[in-house]
Amino acid sequence: MSRPTVSRRVALRRGGMLAAGLAGTLVAGCGLMDSQITTLATTPTAPSESARNTTTAPAANRTLLVYFSRSGENYYYGGRRDLEVGNTEVLARMISELIDADVYQIEAADPYPDSYDATVQRNVAEQDADARPVIANPIDSIASYDVVLVGSPIWNVRPPMIMTTFAERYDFTGKQIHPFVTHAVSGLGSTQAVYTAAFPSARIGPGLAIQGEEVSQRRSDVEAWLGRVGLTP
């Protein structure tokens, strides 16, 4: 398998090494209803004005922003709405505009359905089976990163099972992990506990939870969180 290119901050679109992406278990704002359901062998990419992959020189104390997101039919204030860009991806893009980080979007080898209800059903089955959904585009290594921002929707009060697939694939010894999620009603849900178990050798720092429907309006909350975790824009 060929080694992918590294790109910085903004490369958050389908194509190249990034694809599209669901939020909350109601798929809220990215999301499935929290009571029903809630990221590289591809190397992360560097930012360019056109959000395309470009190669940049490595920097010290690098940060990796990794996320999983789902577009299509999502929960929206009790109803449904079709999203061209999933809410978690909207949040990841916002973060990538504020800090210097390599960006990697997790893609499922078996993509989740566009249908909200079908995604809810699949997520419930994966949780019940303690499944590890296959990642289509795993990155080669995370060894050069000190800080990893891990983003996803919240499905059924926890991150999708594919996030555990990611966590178990690499050695996170000594790394700082900061979760960020989009959700319908459950906030971070059990994210801190799930990641404490999934990343046993890492340090799990304060997380960020944004309601999916409101994600585009919450930039100030994102900036405040980045400041609290030492990644001040």
Instruction: Assess contact for 26 and 85: CB atoms under 8 A.
Output: no
Dump pLDDT digits (tens) for 198-224.
999 999 999 999 999 999 999 999 999
Is the pLDDT score of 31 beyond 70?
no
Within 13 A of 224's CA, how many CA atoms are on the CB side? 7
**CB-CB contact of 33 with 73 (8 Å):** no
Given CATH 3.40.50.360, say whether it is the number of domain 62-228: yes
Q: Is the pLDDT at 59 greater than 70, yes or no?
A: no
Mean pLDDT of the chain: 82
Task: Give 95's strand partners.
Answer: none
Buried b (16+ CB within 10 A) or exposed e, 218-230: beeebbebbeebe
pLDDT at 163 over 90: yes
Domains of the chain, by residue range, sit at 62-228
Which pLDDT belongs to residue 32?
Answer: 55
Residue 167 has pLDDT above 80, yes or no: yes
Q: How confident is the model at residue 91 (pLDDT cuts 50, 70, 90)?
A: very high
The predicted structure's pLDDT at residue 51: 32
Whether residue 204 contacts residue 195, with contact meaning beta carbons closer than 8 Å, is answered with: yes
Higher-confidence position of 49 and 149: 149
CA pair distance 62, 76, nearest whole angstrom: 35
Residues recorded for the chain: 233
Q: Is 181 in contact with 158 (CB distance < 8 Å)?
A: no
Distance of CA 62 to the CA centre of its chain: 18
Q: Is the pLDDT of residue 152 over 50?
A: yes
Lowest mean pLDDT among 19-28, 59-68, 71-80, 153-162: 19-28
Q: β-strands 79-83, 72-76: how paired?
A: antiparallel
Instruction: Quote the percentage of the chain above a pLDDT of 90.
Output: 73
Does residue 227 carry a pLDDT above 90? yes
pLDDT of residue 232: 83
**Which segments of the chain does DSSP mark as H helices, in order?**
87-98, 116-128, 161-169, 191-198, 219-228
